[in-house]
Amino acid sequence: MKVLVAGGTGFIGRVLCRILSRRGHDVTAAGRSPPATMAGAETATLDVTDSDLIDTVEGHDVVVNLVALPSHVDPAGQSHDAVTRQGTEHLVAASQVAGVDRFVQMSALGVDSDVETAYFAAKRGAERAVRNSDLDWVIYRPSVVFGDGCAFLPFLRRLSVARVLALPGGGRMRIQPIWVDDLGEMLADGVEDDRRTGETYELGGPDVLTLAETVVLLRPNTVVLSLPMELSALGASVAAYLPGIPIGRDQHRVQTLDNTVVSNDVAAFGVDERNLHSLYEYLGG
Ligand SMILES: NC(=O)c1ccc[n+]([C@@H]2O[C@H](COP(=O)([O-])OP(=O)(O)OC[C@H]3O[C@@H](n4cnc5c(N)ncnc54)[C@H](OP(=O)(O)O)[C@@H]3O)[C@@H](O)[C@H]2O)c1
């Protein structure tokens, strides 16, 4: 099949393109600044904030939409709503006109929780656009994704460089990290398998860890202190008004929510959660 992976030049996208190519598909990886060459894929320039994406989408059987801004961060000059919700609407519209057979949408765990952030609201709007379309669709909501090139582990390493780290609520928030290659195989199944149509999959890895435990796994002997949630909320409110500081109220709000699955849909892919690659193994523990 001819598969367009919007956001295929990013962390998850590169792995998915490699897997799809290995499975015999013709893959196009698209982003605003694609590299001239990429293993396993042609590359194309695409900005989903453009309202007319037909030229890029035309000729593909399947569109995978991985485009998003980093979660719960508002980089200057861009908004989650414009890139994620509206960008998805643009891709869906072009896919309908182009007669695309299947649309695979990347969402995130927590989108329908009662914690409200601009990232979650935009992801929900994007899911709505996909569900309301005439396309055959499948939606993925993973927990935190780890692997070579991820942003999450280097971010925690930077935070804990001094070996003493104050986290909101002592870092009690729980995550269920999933390895990017394990997720990539499940995304590739969604590209290929008609039985996935109309499904929304909530996916996590084999371990549930608190943020504090993850920090200690990355940097043993780090002392994690507890920043009272009220103080963290106040700090985030102040930071929201300071230029150049990429944290704000959304970063605080999301710390109040566990990023774990209630029931792990990896089983729908014939996978036993316990056989997935764990963060402990990945870090050589
Ligand atoms: N990583 C995680 O832990 C995690 C967890 C849950 C869900 N997700 C979701 O998984 C998806 C992929 O995440 P990721 O970690 O691979 O992100 P990433 O590395 O930041 O990749 C984002 C991709 O989107 C492209 N992009 C950004 N803005 C664009 C625009 N306006 N038009 C077209 N392309 C654009 C980027 O390329 P350019 O910058 O060159 O445009 C890049 O290819 C996202 O939807 C994310 O919300 C990720």
Which domains, ranges and CATH numbers included, belong to the chain? 2-282 (3.40.50.720)
Parallel, antiparallel, or unpaired: how do β-strands 2-6 and 26-31 relate? parallel
Instruction: Determine which residue's CA is closest to atom 12 belonging to ligand 1.
Output: 66
> Looking at ligand 1, which atom is closest to the CA of residue 149?
19
More confident residue, 65 or 165: 65
> Looking at ligand 1, which atom is closest to the CA of residue 146?
3
What was the pLDDT predicted at 257? 87
- Which residues, at least 6 apart from 115, have a Cβ–Cβ distance to it below 8 Å? 253, 254, 256, 257
> Looking at ligand 1, which atom is closest to the CA of residue 152?
3
Provide mean pLDDT across the span 23-35.
Answer: 98
What was the pLDDT predicted at 243? 46
Say which range, 68-77, 87-96, 182-191, has the weakest mean pLDDT: 68-77
What was the pLDDT predicted at 17? 98
Radius of gyration of the chain from its Cα atoms, rounded to whole angstroms: 19
Residues framing ligand 1 (Cβ under 6 A): 6-7, 9-13, 31-33, 46-49, 66-68, 70-71, 83, 87, 106, 108, 142, 144-145, 150, 152
> Looking at ligand 1, which atom is closest to the CA of residue 13?
16
Provide mean pLDDT across the span 206-213.
Answer: 96
Torsion sign over Cα 268, 274, 275, 280? positive
Instruction: Determine which residue's CA is closest to atom 11 belonging to ligand 1.
Output: 66
Given a cut of 90, is residue 237 above it in pLDDT?
Answer: no
Output DSSP code: residue 38.
Answer: B
Given a cut of 80, is residue 72 above it in pLDDT?
Answer: no
Given a cut of 70, is residue 231 above it in pLDDT?
Answer: no
What was the pLDDT predicted at 228? 77
List, for residues 108-162, the tens digit of each pLDDT value: 999 999 888 999 999 999 999 999 999 999 999 999 999 999 999 998 999 888 8
Neighbour-count burial for 197-211, b at 16+ CB within 10 Å, e otherwise: eeebbbbbbbbbbbb
Given a cut of 50, is residue 244 above it in pLDDT?
Answer: no
- Which residues, at least 6 apart from 168, have a Cβ–Cβ distance to it below 8 Å? 227, 228, 229, 232, 252, 255
Given a cut of 60, is residue 239 above it in pLDDT?
Answer: no
What was the pLDDT predicted at 258? 92
Distance CA 175, CA 137 (A): 27
What was the pLDDT predicted at 59? 98
Probe target for ligand 1 pocket from 4, 9, 80, with the most ligand atoms within 8 Å of CB: 9
Provide mean pLDDT across the span 45-68.
Answer: 98
Distance CA 56, CA 40 (A): 18
What was the pLDDT predicted at 246? 46
Instruction: Determine which residue's CA is closest to atom 1 belonging to ligand 1.
Output: 145
Given a cut of 90, is residue 168 above it in pLDDT?
Answer: no
What was the pLDDT predicted at 255? 75
What was the pLDDT predicted at 134? 97
Distance CA 226, CA 37 (A): 46
Distance CA 98, CA 52 (A): 12
- This prediction's pTM: 0.94
Distance (Å) from CA 31 to ligand 1 centroid = 9
Instruction: Determine which residue's CA is closest to atom 21 belonging to ligand 1.
Output: 10
Distance (Å) from CA 69 to ligand 1 centroid = 6
Distance (Å) from CA 117 to ligand 1 centroid = 17
Instruction: Determine which residue's CA is closest to atom 15 belonging to ligand 1.
Output: 11
Distance CA 184, CA 2 (A): 17
Distance (Å) from CA 231 to ligand 1 centroid = 31
Three-state DSSP class for 159? helix
What is the average pLDDT score of the chain? 92
Which one, of 124, 7, 26, lies nearest residue 68 by Cα? Answer: 7
